[in-house]
Amino acid sequence: MIVIRTMQQKDIEKVMAIEQVVCEFPWTSSIYSDCIKVGYSCWVLEEKQEILGYGLLSVGAIADGLMAAAANEAHILNLCVHPDRQHQGLGRKMMQHLIQQAKNLYANSVYLEVRLSNKNAFALYTQLGFEVVGRRKDYYPAAGGREDALVLELHF
């Protein structure tokens, strides 16, 4: 059975093993460690104690006179599925979980950036209702230069 549970510091080694295979420009282990430490919403997909993928979300908080910490904007920071387990619905499962977490934390929009060339991820996001709301020029490092990011939003 595949479960989604919170990512812990002890998971980072296995997370990095996936990260280094699927990402051309991988995050470092210290970035993952910091995301956990600062309290971002960090999750792993697990089956029989094997990590199959992971997703990270941050939710921005605003303060006003009535509600001490009401969040209204969430950002998906990363999403990866082990290459041997892609195209089996796991990416969608993690995205649905992250979207639900954002709703639980009173967000009314979820934003993310995706490489212009990342057709698989783009297809997943648009299938879930995300819409393109912007483009950041030269946002990502890329082989031979930089690559633009599309900014996508899912508004509840």
Ligand X SMILES: CC(C)(COP(=O)(O)OP(=O)(O)OC[C@H]1O[C@@H](n2cnc3c(N)ncnc32)[C@H](O)[C@@H]1OP(=O)(O)O)[C@@H](O)C(=O)NCCC(=O)NCCS
| Bridge partners of residue 55, in order along the sequence | 43, 79
Q: CA-CA distance, 68 to 21, in Å (whole number)? A: 42
Told to check if 89 binds ligand X by CB under 6 A, we report yes
Told to check if 60 binds ligand X by CB under 6 A, we report no
Told to check if 87 binds ligand X by CB under 6 A, we report yes
If residue 34 lies in a helix (H) or strand (E), which one and from where to where? helix 29-37
Site for ligand X in 108-137 (CB under 6 A): 114, 118, 120-121, 123-124, 127
Task: Kindly state the tokens that stand for 147.
Answer: 């690559």
Site for ligand X in 64-83 (CB under 6 A): 79-81
Map residues 9-38 to x or -, x wherever contact with ligand X holds by CB under 6 A. Answer: -------------x----------------
Residue number with CB closer to ligand X (91 or 110): 91
Question: What is the torsion angle, in degrees rounded to the nearest 10, for the CA atoms of residue 115, residue 135, residue 124 and residue 102?
Answer: 110
Please list the alpha-helical segments (H only) found in 67-118.
Answer: 90-104
Catalog residues that contact ligand X under the rule CB under 6 A. Answer: 22, 79-81, 86-92, 114, 118, 120-121, 123-124, 127
